[in-house]
Structure 1
Amino acid sequence: MQHFSQFPEQAPATPLLDGIDSPVALRRLAPSQLEPLADQLRAQLLFDIGRHGGHLGAGLGVIELTLALHFVLDTPHDRLVWDVGHQAYPHKILTGRRATLPTIRHLNGLAPFPSRGESEWDCFGVGHAGTAISAATGMALAAQRQGQIRQVCAVVGDGALSSGMSLEALAHAGGANANLLVVLNDNGMSISPHVGALADRFPSAAQPLAANIAEFFETFGFRYTGPIDGHDLPSLVAALSESSQQSGPRLLHVVTRKGAGFIPAEADALSRGHAHSPAAAPAKKAAPACHRVFGEWACNTAAKDPQLMAVTPAMREGSGLTQFAEHWPERFFDVGIAEQHAVTLAAGMACEGARPVVALYSTFLQRAVDQIIHDVAVQQLPVTLAVDRAGLVGEDGVTHHGIFDIALLRSIPDAVLMAPSTEPELKEMLDAAYRYPGLAAVRYPRGSLPSEPSGAPKVEWGRGRWLRRGNSGVALLNVGALLDAVLSAAEQLDASVIDLRFVKPLDSALVLKAAADHRWLVSIEDHAVEGGAGSAVAELLAQQRMDVPLLRLGVPDHFVEHGQRGELLALCELDAAGITRQVETFVAER
């Protein structure tokens, strides 16, 4: 394996890779050509991501594995299912998307993860971890039922085995005798080093292979092979060739290094070079990102209250809890990729008098709705949900936008849901949620929130606030992070602005006052229009039989792809110009 100390500054020479436009061409090579091809593929990935950004460490770690899989399997007839998709960049290069890889995660460019609509070699779209074994089992059982003879292979990271869904799928696949090959990519990492008792059983934990690891998988009904070196191409090809000649449930244990071949990534113990952003021009000092504000709040609150427990599903760094984990390791719980467990764990803590705070992304909250309802809300337990990355998140795209949490949470009895529009509001709302004797959630965006308008009042429980009084007869009801755009639009429209602050309980008196004083109401939110805060306003007006025209602005009723957050807000007409345009049309038509 060739090692690189920095990103290549010039396009690398890749004579073998230049001849690969699909895995069909790859399979025409001699086995001896795979190792030099791996060096060329690694150089190409480093060159493209170094210039244009994207996920890096996971792809570097599976260069050799990806080549071996496509060399041995007859893809796309044989199905190759990737868990998550951070590791699928080499797969994209080998399946005809090399020229467009620089566009990955950019508006109208390649999807950040495998996508069925993008390539016939992407047989299953992914974004959240833990789905691959379930999907591949379904494909294998359907193929058996239809009399189709094909291999179905799921490539999963060892971190994905902390997901209960993966274990459920293993149990079912083994019991159903599915003709399935699971390749366990064991690198000891998720985004950061993974956790849990199972992780200690793997050789990547710098310990000898536990004698019972084979027995563990065989208990599920899988024939176990391994572990083998995931960077040794001859061994990989031999092991995959042997496994592909077998039938039934099989598991091939492959040990790799995330970030392999790139010295800076291999030296990065925190994330092994998980993602890379090209250097940008120095910008003026920006407000702190919301996850850092939350992390500071968690530390300050923990210093005052020994009952605070912080829980996160494999999102320590992303949720801003690194400093908390260092200061209070006995009160910090990273449960791995297990959102359902995280919520019910917090419920159990709350039963014993603790005050748990669960920090998770909006898109991952979706995976724990049953636990939020049954295990927390029904039992009226004091659990705070810090809902990060709410709204359109940008480059991670359709699987990661946090645009459904309001609709999911506001229908839960006695739940509280707050949406800060400024940084001071975020801190105050976290305090309010933490004091609430039941389920309380605070949703906040990726990135930062604006500073507070001068003279703005403190957060009052269940109350919104007037920020501007206009003369056009239009009242803009802001929900959360779009306040700057709303205020700019209000200037153009001479509209009033109300910051709702609380989605539940909704400040009914304030909304009804706005409806009585204005000819038109407009709700604006960084959330799906259907079921969002605007829907709550519409329900209130209908209950009160107030015939006031209401325009609900938010993310339209279709899936939004990837791009920079500003670009996506403009596409959804949620920037100042788009809001102004939509309101002017609405008023003109009435």
Structure 2
Amino acid sequence: MSVLSKIKTPADLKALPQADVELLADEIRQFLVEKVSATGGHLGPNLGVVEMTIALHRQFDSPDEPIIWDTSHQAYVHKILTGRADQFDVLRQKDGLSGYTDRAESEHDWTESSHASAALSYADGMAKAFELQGKGDQNVVAVVGDGALTGGMCWEALNNIATGERNVVIVVNDNGRSYSPTIGGFSNNLEGLRAQLANLRIQPAYDEVMEHGKKTLKSMGWVGERTFDALHALKEGVKYQVLPTSMFPELGMKYIGPIEGHDLNALNQAFEYAKKYDGPLIVHVVTEKGHGYAPAFNDEKDQMHTIGVMDPETGVQKKSTKPDWTSVFSKEIVAAGEKRDDVVAITAAMSGPVGLQPFAEKFPSRFYDVGIAEQHAVTSAAGLALAGIHPVVALYSTFLNRAFDQLLMDVGLLKLPVTFVLDRAGVTGPDGASHNGVWDLSLVSIVPGIRIAAPRDATRLAEEFNEAIEVTTGPTVVRFPKGDVGADLEAVERLESGIDVLFRPEAADDSDEETLEVLFVAVGTFAETAIETAASLRDEGILVTVVDPRWVYPITPELVELAAGVDLVVTMEDGLIRGGVGSALAEALSSAQVDTPLRQLGFPSIYPRPATRPQVLEEVGLDQASVTQQVREWANFLAR
């Protein structure tokens, strides 16, 4: 019987003999490779936190002592240790196990947003609540990566945590990376500490440690209470190094580390000390992303941060041979950089995922990775624009949510020419609620003067991106979905305002039936669905003209004119119905006193659960069959 099969709760883990814990770590690593290679998911980050997660659950009493995972893509081991190992066959699938912590799954999951840099603020609030409830002795543990610590929200939280005496244990999971290698001054300090750990891997005997510690501390000017604290930690059997650092003590925070992140004994001793410590404390744990699985550890791109289905023996992933949206954009921004030396690129720790790496390699002096700091990215872009540069800020759609105020007030108010390229817009599928990009249209469309493009295919992406960077009167947005880009859909006509007519039907010559004319306004990749719907309804006397506005916001007067000449207008988008393109068109029709009925197909105001994109679209009525039936019902109702 395997050790892993015995673990159903953290209590089972606590009861294991220490000899079995080492075996458990090996079994968990093998389990992760086997299961995640079959479903896809975040492999490298979870391989790196196996021992750390085991040690946390051995020492702390989850869920009474909450363990908050920042971002939580690295919480697979936590899920295994809290009784969910048997659900990994349906990881990131419809009605299956979420790829992030999920409150509906377990009492051990306290949060579920997968946006970075929030864990410390959660922990601060929970510790305050425990204090108010007379449970001040309880610990709250926040696990935060070195990448997330590049986000300003972490430092806002640290500023508050440090002022109290509440028991917040901050575990810094330092692997030197987020998606990309961690950057910035803070990262440079951590790198220095990691280097010191590398020189101290082989621990001397206890007496030698004490003597060496006294001499070292004296030579560094440590006296009084600081010396006592450090030696006391050693005396208590904590066999990690306590290195002097100015990063956290100046905030009033106790710091211990760096700890070898794959040494179970060192981790257990460190967390045992942290559990008993009275007040806020930082435990700096150095881990290796992809640890224990050579294909991940040796992956120079991102150490298998996230993978698709792959061969677990070789680590070779099954990849599509078709071009994807990101690669199309990647080529276009490099071409733009070659033509214009005022074009620069900015991202927030996402150079690879958003396609900026080729630009960074070709134009290193014009590329800025600001870390996980979307707010700073946007206002820094505003500063560049103020000085005559045209910045392209490339982010996942969902992460622009974090910088909306900066877009509204620092860019929009100043009418600055900044282009935002939003990858993974609309429904993304298995990543779940936090990573879907269904909010961008509703949010950014309220910025006065902004222009938003939603390309339907690769040619239009290139075309609209190049149009965007020519705009000098205000911000522009180009949004596109995740995955492969399909074949081009050529227009039958381009109207004066830039609207593309994609399908224009004619009534059947032998038909005596009255016809009903419908204008179908398709946003982005829904153009194909709209064309198929139009073709299928033609023989029923429902004549559907399909148009792609290309620039979906603001609404052009020509689109209003087209709407005035038909019996029904239908809009379709994979952003929220509330505040989306359909809503904007309805406002424009009302303002122009156009009475044509308008119906909207879009995403409801819900948080999408993990599933494939087609499954999510079918669930909310945006699949081909549902759309055709809905337009048919609307048209038949009007024809009565």
- TM-score class, shorter-chain normalisation, is over 0.9
Deviates more, 1:350-359 or 1:173-182: 173-182
Match of 2:553 in 1: 504
**TM-score normalised to structure 2 length:** 0.86
Larger Rg, first or second structure (1 or 2) = 2
Report the Cα distance in structure 1 between the residues aligned to 2:471 and 2:307, rounded to whole angstroms: 39
Report the Cα distance in structure 1 between the residues aligned to 2:245 and 2:37, rounded to whole angstroms: 39
Match of 2:177 in 1: 189
CA contact 1:56–1:273 (8 Å) conserved in 2: yes
Deviates more, 1:77-86 or 1:144-153: 144-153
For residue 345 of structure 1, the aligned residue among 380, 403, 420 is: 380
For residue 548 of structure 1, the aligned residue among 596, 602, 606 is: 596
Report the Cα distance in structure 2 between the residues aligned to 1:227 and 1:459, rounded to whole angstroms: 63
Match of 1:73 in 2: 60
Change (3 A) 1:344 1:425: same
Deviates more, 1:418-427 or 1:202-211: 202-211
Runs of 4+ in 1 over 4 A off after TM superposition: 209-213, 279-285, 455-460
Report the Cα distance in structure 1 between the residues aligned to 2:405 and 2:475, rounded to whole angstroms: 13
Find the residue that maps to 2:3 and give its secondary structure.
Answer: helix
For residue 154 of structure 1, the aligned residue among 129, 137, 142 is: 142
Report the Cα distance in structure 2 between the residues aligned to 1:283 and 1:73, rounded to whole angstroms: 41
Q: Is 1:570 matched up with 2:601? A: no
Q: How far 1:261 moved relative to its partner?
A: 0.4
Q: How far 1:457 moved relative to its partner?
A: 5.2
CA contact 1:463–1:506 (8 Å) conserved in 2: no
- Match of 1:482, as an amino acid? F
Q: Is 1:248 matched up with 2:279? A: yes
Q: How far 1:255 moved relative to its partner?
A: 0.6
CA contact 1:180–1:247 (8 Å) conserved in 2: no
Q: Deviations over 1:80-132 (max 9, x none)?
A: 00011221011111111101112111111111100111110101113011011
Change (3 A) 1:549 1:358: same
Q: How far 1:465 moved relative to its partner?
A: 2.4
Gaps of 5+ in 2: 199-219, 221-242, 312-316, 508-515, 539-543
For residue 363 of structure 1, the aligned residue among 387, 393, 398 is: 398
Q: Deviations over 1:246-283 (max 9, x none)?
A: 12110001111010000111111321121222249989
CA contact 1:202–1:209 (8 Å) conserved in 2: no
Q: Is 1:88 matched up with 2:119? A: no
Match of 2:541 in 1: none
Q: Deviations over 1:440-463 (max 9, x none)?
A: 111111123333334555696x53
Match of 2:351 in 1: 316
- Match of 2:524, as an amino acid? G
Q: How far 1:214 moved relative to its partner?
A: 2.7
Q: How far 1:404 moved relative to its partner?
A: 1.1
- Match of 2:108, as an amino acid? W
Match of 2:206 in 1: none
Q: Is 1:439 matched up with 2:483? A: no
- Match of 1:420, as an amino acid? P
For residue 134 of structure 1, the aligned residue among 121, 126, 143 is: 121
Gaps of 5+ in 1: 1-13
Report the Cα distance in structure 1 between the residues aligned to 2:289 and 2:113, rounded to whole angstroms: 20
CA contact 1:362–1:388 (8 Å) conserved in 2: yes
Report the Cα distance in structure 1 between the residues aligned to 2:453 and 2:467, rounded to whole angstroms: 9
- Match of 2:369, as an amino acid? D
Alignment of 1:474-513 (within 5 A): 474-494=518-538, 495-513=544-562
Report the Cα distance in structure 1 between the residues aligned to 2:304 and 2:491, rounded to whole angstroms: 44
CA contact 1:55–1:276 (8 Å) conserved in 2: yes
- Match of 1:125, as an amino acid? E
Q: How far 1:213 moved relative to its partner?
A: 6.7
CA contact 1:203–1:209 (8 Å) conserved in 2: no
Alignment of 1:207-226 (within 5 A): 207-208=195-196, 214-226=245-257
For residue 450 of structure 1, the aligned residue among 486, 503, 521 is: 486
- Percent identical across equivalent pairs? 39
Report the Cα distance in structure 2 between the residues aligned to 1:128 and 1:252, rounded to whole angstroms: 22
CA contact 1:481–1:526 (8 Å) conserved in 2: no
Q: How far 1:390 moved relative to its partner?
A: 0.6
Report the Cα distance in structure 2 between the residues aligned to 1:283 and 1:274, rounded to whole angstroms: 16
Q: Deviations over 1:527-549 (max 9, x none)?
A: 11111000001111222232222
Q: Deviations over 1:204-223 (max 9, x none)?
A: 78633799973211122211
- Match of 2:449, as an amino acid? D
Q: Deviations over 1:320-350 (max 9, x none)?
A: 1111111111111111100011111111111
Q: How far 1:588 moved relative to its partner?
A: 3.4
CA contact 2:396–2:422 (8 Å) conserved in 1: yes
- Match of 2:179, as an amino acid? I
For residue 502 of structure 2, the aligned residue among 434, 444, 467 is: 467
Q: CA RMSD for the aligned pairs? A: 2.0
Report the Cα distance in structure 2 between the residues aligned to 1:178 and 1:165, rounded to whole angstroms: 19
Report the Cα distance in structure 2 between the residues aligned to 1:172 and 1:220, rounded to whole angstroms: 9
Report the Cα distance in structure 2 between the residues aligned to 1:234 and 1:379, rounded to whole angstroms: 56
Q: Deviations over 1:418-449 (max 9, x none)?
A: 11112111111111110101211111111233
CA contact 1:410–1:503 (8 Å) conserved in 2: no
